[in-house]
Amino acid sequence: MTPTVLIIEDDGILATHLKTSVLELGYAVLGPVATGEAALAMIQDNQVHLVLVDIELAGKLNGIETAGHITRTSDVPIIFLTAFSQDHLLEQVKSIKPYGYLVKPVGERELAATISMSLHRHSLDCQLRQSRTALEQSEKRYRRLYEGAPIGIFRTTLPGLILMMNQEMARIIGCASVEEALASYKDLENQFWVSAQQRRDFINQLRKTGMAKQFECRARKKNGEIIWLSMDARLAPPTEANGHSPELIIEGFATDITQRKQAEKALRDSEQKTSNAKKLLELVLDTIPVRLFWKDRNLKFLGCNRLFAQDAGHQHPDELIGADDFSMAWNEQAEMYRQDDLEVMRTEQAKLQYEEIQTTPDGRTIWLSTSKVPLRDAQENVIGILGSYEDITQRKWAEEQLKVANEDLERNVEQRTLELQETQKQVLHAEKLAAIGKLSASIAHEFNNPLQGILSILKGLRKRAVLEDEDRYLLEAAITEGDRIRDLIRHLQDFNRPSSGRKAMMDVHKSLNSILLLHKNDFKSKRITVVLNYAEQLPTILAVPDQIKQVFLNLLTNAADACQQPGGVITVRTWQEEDRIAVAIHDTGIGIKTEELELLFQPFYTTKPEVKGTGLGLSVSYGIVNRHQGEIRVTSQADEGTTFTVVLPIKGEGVASINGCPSAVAENSPQNSDRAGESA
């Protein structure tokens, strides 16, 4: 869609000139309007992409106030029109944060460059805002998953300072919110840990292996209640956020296992109680959310609670008495369970909180956290095993989701950071190129005036002075070199001047020769030989001359850069293909890798070092040739050279210009008289 520019200027002549110039640049125009009130009414009913506004306007609102109203309701880029006498208002302008300034009278090149750079910068600003929004949404998703996790998550320093925790961890320690927990627990060493020995054991495990798996300990809630926790923790790597070295940071998960510990204790005590106590124990076993079972030394079931029986596919615990694991629903895993039981009885050591996978009778796969301890009689002899397990499928799922979310967040942050850095580099480079273009045009203009004076003096001297033959030869040489400098300045000004977009009949050979003249000293310093192989009868073509010259300039510049070793050869060949002409530029340089050929015409892609290449030359050239209904081809071999071929239609498509403006009357150019095969 063509960008629309709103012009706010109360000087009728300047307003008309601005409108004409903006239309010639290919943009749509609203206005011009002479007052801020009229501009605000117009911008409400029309889509505007950029505003040109004079600082001093007639009416109640001046330009600064009008721009302020616009920026409060939209992010349309503002460019102020100012005069040198308005310097006292520039401090007020800064609060609007405009995209640029134009000094009256406005030059066409400055107008084109300022509008183009403002629209480009505004587009980049929109991309940056979208990137920030995506990052914020990703962070919110991670935060929701973290806060909604069904297990406690925590991070502390080794001495006991809480750095962070989620809502479930705050609930476990008896607090209504994370904020309350952080405010209440200032010294975990004395407030949280009930047993100093357990804390030392926990710290020793972390120091030795960096991890503590299923570590069970007693903890004190805020109200003083003692609970049992099972913790999985590790020493965290350093981050800028925590500001501590890695051995001082602990992070992990915590689960309240108070009910399970109470059940285990109740089971051990029940064997020494009366039958009434046994009935009470059975009631407890059937109501707790932990699966419990016990076996004799032959690994036959002595009993279990109701939840365990249901997992095994039975309705009542008594149905399992005397059976073994090989007759259960999980018979495929029975041998693994048998080996675990034998190890506990042989070592007489508990095997706590180890994780395993089990297939349920209905075909589901679940995760279990299992503990097994030796079952002893009154004389402390091992008579079997006591086991328990919890279904931790939900916890495992939460751990995996947290891991995935964290990896996605880190990957997205890294990717967005690289994109923002690359975008910033491109903007800075584009601004630098614009500044260099303005400087070169200014220098060329300053050189042209004194050069014309020198040439006039020399040519007048040639007409009137009586000179010796040797002096006249030197005078003619000076005039010839002056003319050459004048031509170079003219070509430089042509390239810096914004393209009119109008097609005209152009002589391709003459255009190539003017570009080669600009490169003459560069070729000479690099000892590059130029071979011209021009077609004898090459017709003129209908095209935009300055744009086609830009294509040839880009290709010859790339060819010269490719010849990194002295003694390179650049061959320029032309010919006619039916109703089209072709120009091939071949160099004997380093060539281009096969995998890079497909990327050559992408914007900002370059095979040159950053100090030499912008990555825009071939992209711009491709666009120009494509808009002329032509094509550009490339062939290359590493260390052997590269050939770029530009094919253009002779008559073009109709007489319309490239940017939609009416075409100028075609001008016939004389055919270039350079001989085929001439070496420069």
Separation in Å, CA 113 to CA 110, 427, 431, 499, 599: 5, 14, 10, 12, 27
User: Residue 664, Cβ neighbours under 10 Å: how many?
Assistant: 14
Q: Domain with 493 in it: what CATH number? A: 1.10.287.130
343 and 404 within one domain: no
pLDDT, tens digit, for every residue of 159-210? 778 888 888 888 888 898 888 888 888 777 778 888 889 888 998 998 888 8
Q: What residues make up the domain containing 436?
A: 393-497
80 belongs to a structural domain: yes
- Domain limit, last residue, from 344, 361, 391: 391
Virtual torsion, Cα 553, 556, 558, 562, nearest 10 deg:
-160
241 and 154 within one domain: yes
**How confident is the model at residue 614, as a pLDDT?**
47
658 belongs to a structural domain: no
173 belongs to a structural domain: yes
236: which 2 tokens? 């965290």
274 and 214 within one domain: no
The whole-model pTM stands at 0.33
359 and 307 within one domain: yes
Q: What φ, ψ does residue 286 adopt, rounded to 5°? A: -80, -10
664 belongs to a structural domain: no
Which amino acid type is present at position 215? F
CA distance 30 to 229: 71
24 and 93 within one domain: yes
677: which 2 tokens? 């095969």
**How confident is the model at residue 5, as a pLDDT?**
87
- Domain limit, last residue, from 106, 138, 173: 106
Helical spans, DSSP H, in 163-211: 167-172, 178-184, 188-191, 196-209
The bridge status of strand 78-82 relative to strand 100-103 is: parallel
Q: Domain with 93 in it: what CATH number? A: 3.40.50.2300
SS3 315: coil
400 belongs to a structural domain: yes
Q: Are 625 and 648 in contact (CB under 8 A)?
A: yes
Q: In a 10 Å sphere around its CB, with 0-12 CB exposed, 13-18 middle and 19+ buried, how is residue 299 labelled?
A: middle
143 belongs to a structural domain: no
The answer, yes or no, to whether the previous bond of 32 is cis (omega within 30 of 0) is yes
**How confident is the model at residue 676, as a pLDDT?**
33
Q: Which of 632, 611, 474 is nearest to 552 (CA)?
A: 632
CA torsion through residues 31, 33, 36, 41, sign: negative
| Close Cβ partners of 107 (under 8 Å, ≥ 6 residues apart) | none
CA distance 310 to 321: 14
Residues of the chain short of pLDDT 70, as ranges, are: 84-91, 139, 141-148, 237-247, 271-278, 280-281, 285-286, 361, 423-446, 448, 484, 487-488, 490-500, 599, 601-617, 652-680
Q: Which of 601, 637, 596 is nearest to 620 (CA)?
A: 601
SS3 343: helix
